[in-house]
Amino acid sequence: MLLKLENVSFNAGSNRVLNAIGLEARGGEFIALMGSNGAGKSTLLDLIAGLRRPLGGTIKLEERALADWPVRELACRLSHLPQSVSADLPFRAGQLVAMGRYPHTSHWHESAIDREEAESAMRCTNCLQFQDRQLTTLSGGERQRVLLAACLAQKAELLLLDEPSTFLDVDQQLHCFALLQQESARNVLCIAVTHDINLALAHCTRILILAEGKVATDIAVREAQAAPEWLKLFSPRLHMGATPAGRPWVWF
């Protein structure tokens, strides 16, 4: 088991955000983490990334408590794309992507492999042409592709992505989720926060929905079409249908 959460809880002040969350996930899964605004999706990713400490419960990576991992070793195994990153970072795009290789470098010196991995990641996310541009000169969507490239360059076995398709146009949204689908196919565990149900149905293997601080639904995508009751957690106006090719499709 790559990732295991048991009875994980978290408070924001006196407000219980997450309550007794349980989750088990293996490499090769692509999990869509979903739920209404304020359901605790970003908080859960932050907890798994080690950026916050749970009020209670345990989080294990490779059967080892998250708190027991040395920071550098953890950074080699886990990559996190937050919901928002400052737009005025004083770096060129190529420099930012190269930072994704820092956990693998020796004494802060980049190797030829590090440079190759960074360039390959930028090529995969269609942003290599921006490598010499300052981040401040990029649009929101262009900057998002650079940030995703930095995560991919890290070559982690667990990718935590908080709304990775934010700011992206339709074609790039499809490319982003197809790219993450490819990552899961090489045994990476991808957990992505998204509000786009159809993107999740088309690319993910599993849908996990938070509501009222708990896991309200945890369902394999292959079962989601036949048991559409989970759609009521989002809106009573949603209905399950199918594309001409027979794939599940949600409409309203």
Domains of the chain: 3-86+156-251 (3.40.50.300)
Per-residue model confidence as pLDDT tens digits over 117-130: 999 999 999 999 99
Can you say how many angstroms the Cα of residue 197 is from the centroid of all Cα atoms in its chain?
15
Residue 139 backbone dihedrals phi, psi, to 5 degrees: -70, 170
- The DSSP letter of residue 140 is H
The whole-number average pLDDT for the span 193-203 is 97
> What pLDDT score was predicted for residue 110?
80
* Mean pLDDT to the nearest integer, 141-158: 97
The confidence score (pLDDT) of residue 88 equals: 84
Predicted local confidence at residue 107, as pLDDT? 66
> Would you say 192 and 164 are in contact if contact means Cβ atoms under 8 Å apart?
yes
**220 pLDDT above the threshold of 70:** yes
Residue-wise pLDDT for 60-113, tens only, equals 999 999 999 999 999 999 999 999 888 788 999 999 999 999 998 876 678 899
- What pLDDT does residue 109 have? 73
Q: What CA–CA distance (Å, rounded) separates 149 from 97? A: 6
* Strand, helix or coil for residue 179: helix
Q: Give the residues across from 240 on adjacent strands.
A: 250
The SS3 call for residue 250 is strand
Instruction: Say what the pLDDT of residue 216 is.
Output: 98
pLDDT at 86: 83
Model pLDDT, residue 117 = 96
Mean pLDDT computed over 158-168 = 97
Helix (H, G, I), strand (E, B) or coil at 38: coil
Per the CB < 8 A criterion, the answer to whether 81 and 166 are in contact is no
pLDDT in tens, 2-44: 999 999 999 999 999 999 999 999 999 999 999 999 999 999 9
Helix (H, G, I), strand (E, B) or coil at 93: helix
Q: What DSSP string runs through 107-154?
A: TTB--HHHHHHHHHHHHHTT-GGGTTSBGGGS-HHHHHHHHHHHHHHT
Residue 108's pLDDT is what? 65
Compute the distance between CA of residue 39 and CA of residue 145 in angstroms, rounded to an integer.
26
Length of the chain: 252
- Which pair of tokens denotes residue 221? 């995508």
Q: Is 95 helix (H, G, I), strand (E, B) or coil?
A: helix
Task: Find tokens 């490819």 and name the residue.
Answer: 182
Place of tokens 């292959």: 222
Average pLDDT estimate for 208-233: 96
Average pLDDT of every residue of the chain:
95
In the prediction, which pLDDT does 230 show? 97
Q: pTM here?
A: 0.96
